[in-house]
Amino acid sequence: MAPGSCAPDSPYLKPHEWSMTFSYRHYHSFRDYQGGKKLPHPSPPDFYASTRMHGFDLTLTYAFTSRFSLSLEVPLSKASRETYFEHDFVTLHKMRASGIGDARVIGNFWLLAPEKNPRQNISVRFGIKTPTGNHSAQDLSFRPEPVSRPVDPAIQPGDGGVGIIFGFDGFKRLAKRTVAYAQGTYLSNPREMNGTETVFGDLPGFTFGDIGYTIDSVPDQFFGQIGVSQTVWPKKGLAVTMGLRTDGVPPRDLIGGSEGWRLPGYSISVEPGFSITKGQHYFTLTVPITVKGHGSTNVADQRNHSPLAGIVSLADSQLTISYSRRF
């Protein structure tokens, strides 16, 4: 549950009511971790990577009853990635990708009757992620001559798999102007690999003929959030929020195999922000700041005892903005 979803007088949609949310997320991933150790910056050319992501999401939600609603989420991304090792290992080059991502259809069900529980409740969600995004976008790679190659999975608009989404949202009003919130979401991707060759999949000296370095994985993902929202200016609908957030990719999938190229790891962030509620309109802004990063070891690195195992690039901070309207 987004922090501000608890800030209005009621987080509940009425039967047959719609909600539209437009959100934006930006991060610059460049800080390298190996396991839980932060590596010196800038990294050496062997594994330096700088990724910039601009993500946009449009979500439409319709409440069939006071307890059950259905959401359609359509993402759009514009991203770039600079590395040495995805090119000639000598010069820093940038690859880019953009487009519509993998759309999601998600059902949400409140466990307690909203009419009798205005101060607290928890909802469960279950849905499907569809492979509507391009998982084989290409750009020029320099070897040293320019050649068109698939971009890294970190900036691919889609992942090429049908996913299973499950999670929960919860809130509890602690005082007249204070609300605690929590959310957790897990995306399970049963498909093991999507058939797209890695950026360096044409370099036998780098892949050693290992499928885990040659073809992209379709990895699981997870997200969690917990915090408190405090209304500080009721007349203007202004609330401040403070929470903890985690985002990540596990080294192994919950369902299906875990082969293919992935860079697993996670970040834990403190997440200050604020929200403004005015009638049917609702605006939030948060700035998650990483306090702990961790790089995990993928299957191929374990198999090959790679000295670069467990290295992942994470962002020092993020920016998330959302606007919602009920009608």
Q: What is the pLDDT of residues 87-98, one digit of tens each?
A: 988 889 999 999
Instruction: Report the amino acid identity of residue 200.
Output: F
Structure tokens at 306: 């790679």
- Write down the residue that tokens 């040495």 correspond to: 84
- Please name which of 298, 291, 313 lies closest in space to residue 252, comparing C-alpha atoms: 298
CATH of the domain at 119: 2.40.160.40
Helix (H) or strand (E) holding 39: none
Q: How confident is the model at residue 43 (pLDDT cuts 50, 70, 90)?
A: confident
Model pLDDT, residue 9: 61
Q: Please say if the pLDDT value at position 203 is more than 90.
A: no
Model pLDDT, residue 4: 36
Taking only the tens place, the pLDDT of each residue in 48-86 is: 899 999 999 999 999 999 999 999 999 999 999 999 989
Q: What gap in Å lies between CA 148 and CA 141, rounded to an integer?
A: 6
Q: How confident is the model at residue 5 (pLDDT cuts 50, 70, 90)?
A: very low
Spell out the alpha helix ranges (H) of 166-309. Answer: 204-207, 211-214, 299-304
For the chain, what is the domain count?
1
Q: Please say if the pLDDT value at position 235 is more than 80.
A: yes
pLDDT-above-90 percentage for the chain: 87
Taking only the tens place, the pLDDT of each residue in 250-293 is: 999 999 999 999 999 999 999 999 999 998 999 999 999 999 99
Range of the domain at 301: 3-326
> Residue 141: is it exposed, middle or buried by C-beta count within 10 angstroms (0-12/13-18/19+)?
buried
Q: Please say if the pLDDT value at position 230 is more than 80.
A: yes
Model pLDDT, residue 48: 87
Q: What is the mean pLDDT of residues 24-44?
A: 91
Q: Please say if the pLDDT value at position 299 is more than 50.
A: yes
Model pLDDT, residue 88: 87
Instruction: Report the amino acid identity of residue 323.
Output: Y
Q: What is the mean pLDDT of residues 187-195?
A: 98
Model pLDDT, residue 2: 39
Q: List 175's β-bridge partners, or say none.
A: 178
Q: What is the mean pLDDT of residues 22-33?
A: 96
Model pLDDT, residue 46: 74
Q: What gap in Å lies between CA 127 and CA 108, rounded to an integer?
A: 9
Q: Please say if the pLDDT value at position 8 is more than 80.
A: no
Q: Is the distance from CB of 141 to CB of 148 less than 8 angstroms?
A: yes
Q: Please say if the pLDDT value at position 156 is more than 50.
A: yes
